[in-house]
Protein backbone atom coordinates (compact mmCIF):
# COMPACT_ATOMS: atom_id res chain seq x y z
CA UNK A 1 0.00 0.00 0.00
CA UNK A 2 2.93 2.33 0.55
CA UNK A 3 4.07 2.22 -3.06
CA UNK A 4 0.74 3.35 -4.61
CA UNK A 5 0.52 6.26 -2.15
CA UNK A 6 4.10 7.23 -2.93
CA UNK A 7 3.42 7.04 -6.66
CA UNK A 8 0.30 9.19 -6.27
CA UNK A 9 2.26 11.77 -4.29
CA UNK A 10 4.98 11.91 -6.92
CA UNK A 11 2.40 12.46 -9.63
CA UNK A 12 0.89 15.38 -7.71
CA UNK A 13 4.31 16.95 -7.24
CA UNK A 14 5.08 16.42 -10.91
CA UNK A 15 1.84 18.17 -11.85
CA UNK A 16 2.76 21.15 -9.68
CA UNK A 17 6.25 21.32 -11.15
CA UNK A 18 4.88 21.16 -14.71
CA UNK A 19 2.18 23.78 -14.17
CA UNK A 20 2.66 26.67 -16.57
CA UNK A 21 3.10 30.17 -15.15
CA UNK A 22 -0.13 32.19 -15.20
CA UNK A 23 0.06 35.70 -16.65
CA UNK A 24 -2.10 38.79 -16.39
CA UNK A 25 -1.03 41.54 -18.79
CA UNK A 26 -1.36 45.19 -17.65
CA UNK A 27 -1.89 47.75 -20.42
CA UNK A 28 -2.36 51.50 -20.33
CA UNK A 29 -0.78 54.70 -21.57
CA UNK A 30 2.37 56.18 -20.01
CA UNK A 31 1.36 57.48 -16.59
CA UNK A 32 -1.89 55.50 -16.40
CA UNK A 33 -0.82 53.87 -13.13
CA UNK A 34 0.36 50.46 -14.26
CA UNK A 35 3.30 50.28 -11.85
CA UNK A 36 1.33 51.63 -8.89
CA UNK A 37 -1.56 49.23 -9.46
CA UNK A 38 0.80 46.28 -9.82
CA UNK A 39 2.62 47.19 -6.62
CA UNK A 40 -0.67 47.19 -4.71
CA UNK A 41 -1.72 43.83 -6.20
CA UNK A 42 1.64 42.28 -5.27
CA UNK A 43 1.35 43.59 -1.72
CA UNK A 44 -1.94 41.74 -1.20
CA UNK A 45 -1.61 38.65 -3.43
CA UNK A 46 0.80 35.96 -4.55
CA UNK A 47 1.52 37.63 -7.89
CA UNK A 48 5.00 38.73 -9.01
CA UNK A 49 5.23 42.03 -10.88
CA UNK A 50 7.35 42.03 -14.03
CA UNK A 51 7.55 45.40 -15.75
CA UNK A 52 8.72 45.15 -19.35
CA UNK A 53 9.97 48.73 -19.12
CA UNK A 54 11.86 48.15 -15.86
CA UNK A 55 13.46 44.98 -17.21
CA UNK A 56 14.61 46.87 -20.30
CA UNK A 57 15.96 49.77 -18.23
CA UNK A 58 17.83 47.33 -15.97
CA UNK A 59 19.33 45.64 -19.01
CA UNK A 60 20.28 49.02 -20.47
CA UNK A 61 22.09 49.96 -17.24
CA UNK A 62 24.33 46.87 -17.27
CA UNK A 63 27.91 47.90 -18.16
CA UNK A 64 28.49 45.15 -20.71
CA UNK A 65 24.98 44.72 -22.11
CA UNK A 66 24.98 44.04 -25.85
CA UNK A 67 21.50 45.58 -26.07
CA UNK A 68 22.05 48.64 -23.85
CA UNK A 69 22.55 51.27 -26.56
CA UNK A 70 19.71 49.92 -28.70
CA UNK A 71 17.31 49.94 -25.74
CA UNK A 72 18.32 53.50 -24.83
CA UNK A 73 17.62 54.74 -28.36
CA UNK A 74 14.14 53.20 -28.37
CA UNK A 75 13.30 54.55 -24.90
CA UNK A 76 14.39 58.09 -25.79
CA UNK A 77 12.48 58.03 -29.07
CA UNK A 78 9.34 56.62 -27.48
CA UNK A 79 9.46 53.62 -29.80
CA UNK A 80 9.19 49.90 -29.03
CA UNK A 81 12.17 47.66 -28.34
CA UNK A 82 12.45 44.51 -30.53
CA UNK A 83 10.23 41.78 -29.11
CA UNK A 84 12.91 39.10 -28.97
CA UNK A 85 14.83 41.14 -26.38
CA UNK A 86 11.76 41.85 -24.24
CA UNK A 87 10.48 38.25 -24.29
CA UNK A 88 13.92 36.97 -23.36
CA UNK A 89 14.12 39.27 -20.35
CA UNK A 90 10.59 38.41 -19.19
CA UNK A 91 11.19 34.68 -19.53
CA UNK A 92 14.46 34.87 -17.63
CA UNK A 93 12.77 36.80 -14.80
CA UNK A 94 10.06 34.15 -14.60
CA UNK A 95 12.57 31.33 -14.43
CA UNK A 96 14.42 32.95 -11.53
CA UNK A 97 11.20 33.45 -9.54
CA UNK A 98 9.79 30.95 -7.07
CA UNK A 99 6.23 32.05 -7.88
CA UNK A 100 3.82 30.93 -10.58
CA UNK A 101 1.55 33.95 -11.09
CA UNK A 102 2.83 37.05 -12.85
CA UNK A 103 1.65 40.56 -13.64
CA UNK A 104 3.41 41.60 -16.85
CA UNK A 105 2.92 45.31 -17.36
CA UNK A 106 3.60 47.38 -20.47
CA UNK A 107 3.36 44.33 -22.73
CA UNK A 108 2.35 43.47 -25.45
CA UNK A 109 2.58 46.98 -26.83
CA UNK A 110 2.10 46.21 -30.53
CA UNK A 111 1.37 43.44 -33.02
CA UNK A 112 5.04 42.49 -33.19
CA UNK A 113 5.07 42.07 -29.39
CA UNK A 114 1.97 39.88 -29.57
CA UNK A 115 3.38 37.78 -32.41
CA UNK A 116 6.67 37.41 -30.54
CA UNK A 117 4.90 36.35 -27.34
CA UNK A 118 2.79 33.83 -29.26
CA UNK A 119 5.88 32.40 -30.91
CA UNK A 120 8.20 32.33 -27.90
CA UNK A 121 5.99 32.19 -24.80
CA UNK A 122 2.53 30.80 -25.60
CA UNK A 123 3.67 27.22 -24.96
CA UNK A 124 5.40 28.25 -21.72
CA UNK A 125 2.66 30.35 -20.07
CA UNK A 126 -1.13 30.75 -19.72
CA UNK A 127 -2.55 34.26 -20.27
CA UNK A 128 -5.49 34.59 -17.88
CA UNK A 129 -6.58 38.19 -18.48
CA UNK A 130 -5.58 41.68 -19.58
CA UNK A 131 -6.12 44.64 -17.26
CA UNK A 132 -6.55 47.90 -19.20
CA UNK A 133 -6.12 51.12 -17.24
CA UNK A 134 -8.00 53.86 -19.11
CA UNK A 135 -6.61 57.36 -18.63
CA UNK A 136 -6.64 60.48 -20.82
CA UNK A 137 -3.45 61.68 -22.47
CA UNK A 138 -3.71 64.94 -20.51
CA UNK A 139 -3.80 63.23 -17.12
CA UNK A 140 -1.10 60.75 -18.10
CA UNK A 141 1.20 63.53 -19.30
CA UNK A 142 0.73 65.55 -16.12
CA UNK A 143 1.56 62.53 -13.98
CA UNK A 144 4.70 61.71 -15.96
CA UNK A 145 5.98 65.29 -15.92
CA UNK A 146 5.42 65.48 -12.15
CA UNK A 147 7.24 62.17 -11.80
CA UNK A 148 10.15 63.59 -13.75
CA UNK A 149 10.27 66.73 -11.60
CA UNK A 150 10.37 64.53 -8.50
CA UNK A 151 13.50 62.80 -9.78
CA UNK A 152 12.24 59.60 -11.39
CA UNK A 153 15.55 59.27 -13.23
CA UNK A 154 13.73 58.23 -16.39
CA UNK A 155 15.04 59.74 -19.62
CA UNK A 156 11.55 59.63 -21.17
CA UNK A 157 9.69 61.66 -18.51
CA UNK A 158 9.76 64.83 -20.61
CA UNK A 159 7.27 66.48 -22.96
CA UNK A 160 9.08 65.62 -26.20
CA UNK A 161 9.29 61.91 -25.37
CA UNK A 162 5.76 61.83 -23.95
CA UNK A 163 4.22 63.16 -27.17
CA UNK A 164 5.93 60.34 -29.07
CA UNK A 165 4.98 57.75 -26.45
CA UNK A 166 1.30 58.70 -26.58
CA UNK A 167 1.32 58.61 -30.39
CA UNK A 168 2.91 55.17 -30.27
CA UNK A 169 0.38 54.01 -27.66
CA UNK A 170 -2.62 55.07 -29.76
CA UNK A 171 -1.24 53.69 -33.01
CA UNK A 172 0.30 50.43 -31.78
CA UNK A 173 -1.10 49.46 -28.36
CA UNK A 174 -4.79 50.32 -28.70
CA UNK A 175 -5.20 47.64 -31.42
CA UNK A 176 -3.87 45.16 -28.84
CA UNK A 177 -6.55 46.34 -26.41
CA UNK A 178 -9.20 45.72 -29.07
CA UNK A 179 -7.71 42.29 -29.85
CA UNK A 180 -7.89 41.09 -26.24
CA UNK A 181 -11.36 42.58 -25.83
CA UNK A 182 -12.57 40.55 -28.82
CA UNK A 183 -11.12 37.44 -27.15
CA UNK A 184 -13.10 38.21 -23.99
CA UNK A 185 -9.92 38.61 -21.92
CA UNK A 186 -9.97 42.38 -21.33
CA UNK A 187 -10.95 44.12 -18.08
CA UNK A 188 -11.33 47.93 -18.26
CA UNK A 189 -10.75 50.21 -15.25
CA UNK A 190 -10.95 54.01 -15.01
CA UNK A 191 -7.47 54.91 -13.77
CA UNK A 192 -8.02 58.65 -13.56
CA UNK A 193 -9.35 57.96 -10.06
CA UNK A 194 -7.20 57.53 -6.98
CA UNK A 195 -4.74 54.64 -6.92
CA UNK A 196 -6.63 53.04 -4.01
CA UNK A 197 -9.97 53.18 -5.82
CA UNK A 198 -8.46 51.59 -8.93
CA UNK A 199 -6.81 48.85 -6.89
CA UNK A 200 -10.02 48.10 -4.96
CA UNK A 201 -11.88 47.43 -8.23
CA UNK A 202 -9.05 45.35 -9.71
CA UNK A 203 -8.74 43.28 -6.54
CA UNK A 204 -12.49 42.64 -6.43
CA UNK A 205 -12.30 41.32 -9.99
CA UNK A 206 -9.35 39.05 -9.21
CA UNK A 207 -11.11 37.78 -6.09
CA UNK A 208 -14.36 37.25 -7.99
CA UNK A 209 -12.68 34.74 -10.31
CA UNK A 210 -10.52 33.27 -7.53
CA UNK A 211 -7.19 34.43 -8.96
CA UNK A 212 -5.82 35.72 -5.69
CA UNK A 213 -4.12 33.74 -2.93
d(CA 100, CA 196): 25
Task: Determine if residue 106 is labeled as part of a ligand binding site.
Answer: yes
Task: Determine if residue 35 is labeled as part of a ligand binding site.
Answer: yes
Task: Determine if residue 193 is labeled as part of a ligand binding site.
Answer: yes
Please say whether the beta carbons of 105 and 34 come within 8 A.
Answer: yes
Task: Determine if residue 80 is labeled as part of a ligand binding site.
Answer: yes
Give the number of C-alpha atoms closer than 13 A to the C-alpha of residue 99, restricted to the C-beta side. 15
d(CA 162, CA 79): 11
Task: Determine if residue 79 is labeled as part of a ligand binding site.
Answer: yes
Task: Determine if residue 113 is labeled as part of a ligand binding site.
Answer: yes
Task: Determine if residue 154 is labeled as part of a ligand binding site.
Answer: yes
d(CA 22, CA 102): 6
Task: Determine if residue 28 is labeled as part of a ligand binding site.
Answer: no
d(CA 94, CA 77): 28
Task: Determine if residue 53 is labeled as part of a ligand binding site.
Answer: no
Angle, vertex CA 46, rays to CA 31 and CA 126, nearest 5: 80
State the virtual CA torsion across 15, 204, 135, 171 in degrees, nearest 10. 30
Task: Determine if residue 143 is labeled as part of a ligand binding site.
Answer: no
Would you list which residues are annotated within the binding site for a ribonucleoside 5'-phosphate? 57, 79-81, 106-109, 154, 165
Would you list which residues are annotated within the binding site for ATP? 31-36, 147, 193
Would you list which residues are annotated within the binding site? 31-36, 57, 79-81, 106-109, 113, 147, 154, 165, 193
Would you list which residues are annotated within the binding site for CMP? 113
Amino acid sequence: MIFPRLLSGLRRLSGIAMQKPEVVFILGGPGSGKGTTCAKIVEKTGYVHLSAGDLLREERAKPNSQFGQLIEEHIKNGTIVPVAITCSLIHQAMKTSSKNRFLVDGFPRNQDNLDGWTKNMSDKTIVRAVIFLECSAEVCTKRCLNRGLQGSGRSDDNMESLVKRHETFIKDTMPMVKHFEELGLLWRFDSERSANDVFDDVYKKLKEIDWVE
